Chains A and B, each alone.
Chain A
């Protein structure tokens, strides 16, 4: 902008050009700090063992070796881990929608005694992390025989405070006249939520779905705490164990396993980076 307002003499604009080139170079270098490690992981995953133990290291493998992926896949129980990761992340999201949407509707569109207090209670969950509650919940679940079950991984996530907060916020944006009109038409509550509120809150719902899926796909702590059996465990635990399996550190195989864990999230990020950036910076809930 400033350039157009004050057109400087040749020498000054040359200096400005050099300045903006320098600025661009610095910004590209900063980006590289955050992106290059992922590229390094990708190329390592196609190297041979020999190529991972040369110094100085080289970026590209001599020939690209897809075998590493096969080795990682066969090591431990990767197909089970992958299934569990997908199944658990999606089940959590489904349960959350069933619990969160009616609650968000009641908090946003209905009047009842104790509403403020109860909403405050829900918000309490917003920043109390699993790390602060896992011990009593573990003891509770082990008493109920729920350790090593999908229920132990899914049920505690269903009443998502973030989801209720976010979706109630966007239900509140729906004009009251529209809700009243639907009530006068004797449209049932279910119809009101499904046909009117949810379509109008679509951006918030997508934001929440992306946030929830990514957060639970990435979860390590909760799954590790609530399971002992490989049959129930997920990709992050599988990948973390990959590095303990072999005596010699086979970084090429470990990086191949890691790629399997990272690739879906990177793919979603490439497709929907704008939504994801909003989802994760919305209110700072991690």
Chain B
């Protein structure tokens, strides 16, 4: 160690170095997360036509127009419906799967890897694959329905079934991820807890509902939040499979924002639509932080 006056300047240099190490990361966060969030609020309050370049301040007129437009309200309610069904079905199915896969056998390991596969494949690939499987004339799914004695469906080509078809794809892609997160949660429950339940002569069902489920609630809560945020943001499958149709039945929020901004060049309205996405995602993010920091704290 050097003498004390020099170590003072060394400490100062050390502090400056610390900021230099984080500078690129902070700059990235400011430019690509904070700035767009703030600028988007400004955009949502202007009427900006990209083609003519005219821009003027309109206050909350964009929001008023969107909330008065049945088409946009349909987009919001379709998005909420998509989200609710995908989150509910995917997490319930994952819970059943995780509960039946908790012992570490070779078969269980294989099933885990199998159900997880769709999660790492691009949603574009998954969408195209399912378009082929849901093809009304020659597709695999109608063939399977026929084998079960059920009538065929038009799947993506009918406004009655298109949104449900997207939900099937959404569930298929996420259930494996959810199952693995829940499985990790189940496996971290100490064996002594189950031992105690066994000594109390608790049955399988009551052990599940009274022991497993409550101890799993942090993982479940975490998954609900992550799934709500990610299904609210769904775009790829809409863009590839339906482009929002038929008859706007699958026009979900992000696709609507994309269309309004990039195809109709109505930037102000698109930005106002983005604010709805912000609110949902920000809420989910806030709740998620509380859980993530809670996890770090207690481990």
Partners in one complex: yes
Residues of A within 8 A of B (CB): 1, 23-24, 27-28, 30-31, 33-35, 37-38, 40-41, 44, 52-57, 98-100, 102-103, 105-107, 110-113, 118, 121-129, 131-140, 155-156, 158-159, 161, 164, 169, 189, 214, 217-221, 224-225, 236-237, 239-240, 243, 249, 251, 254-255, 258, 261-262, 265-266, 269, 273, 276-277, 280-281, 283-284, 286
- Chain B residues with CB under 8 Å of A129's CB are 229, 233, 281
CA A133 – CA B17 in complex, angstroms? Answer: 31
B201 sits at the interface (CB 8 A): no
Assuming the contacts A127-B284, A286-B230, asked whether A281 and B177 have C-beta atoms less than 8 A apart, the reply is yes
Contact status A261-B122, CB under 8 Å: yes
CA A159 – CA B128 in complex, angstroms? Answer: 31
B39 sits at the interface (CB 8 A): yes
CA A240 – CA B17 in complex, angstroms? Answer: 46
Contact status A135-B14, CB under 8 Å: no
Residues of B within 8 A of A (CB): 14-15, 17-19, 21-22, 24-30, 32-37, 39-40, 43, 97, 100-101, 103, 107-108, 110-125, 127-133, 135, 137-140, 143, 146, 172, 176-177, 180-181, 184, 222-223, 226, 229-230, 233, 235-236, 239-240, 254, 257-258, 261-262, 267, 270-271, 274, 277-278, 281-282, 284-285, 288-289, 292, 296
- Chain A residues with CB under 8 Å of B184's CB are 281
CA A129 – CA B36 in complex, angstroms? Answer: 11
A120 closest partner in B (C-beta):
B289
- Chain B residues with CB under 8 Å of A221's CB are 235-236, 254
CA A35 – CA B111 in complex, angstroms? Answer: 10
A254 closest partner in B (C-beta):
B128
CB distance from B27 to the nearest CB of A (A): 7
- Chain A residues with CB under 8 Å of B129's CB are 37-38, 40-41, 255, 258
CB distance from B226 to the nearest CB of A (A): 4
CA A235 – CA B239 in complex, angstroms? Answer: 16
Contact status B97-A125, CB under 8 Å: no
Contact status B115-A34, CB under 8 Å: yes
Assuming the contacts A34-B176, A133-B36, A220-B123, asked whether A189 and B17 have C-beta atoms less than 8 A apart, the reply is yes
21 contacts between A and B (CB under 8 A): A34-B114, A37-B130, A37-B133, A121-B30, A124-B34, A127-B229, A128-B282, A132-B40, A134-B36, A135-B270, A136-B36, A136-B40, A138-B261, A139-B267, A218-B125, A219-B122, A220-B239, A224-B239, A262-B125, A273-B116, A277-B180
Contact status B176-A106, CB under 8 Å: no
Contact status A34-B172, CB under 8 Å: yes
Contact status A239-B128, CB under 8 Å: yes
- Chain B residues with CB under 8 Å of A131's CB are 233, 235, 254, 257, 277
CA A169 – CA B282 in complex, angstroms? Answer: 24
CA A284 – CA B229 in complex, angstroms? Answer: 11
Contact status A27-B111, CB under 8 Å: yes
Contact among B37, B117, B131 with A34 in the assembled complex (CB-CB below 8 Å)? B117
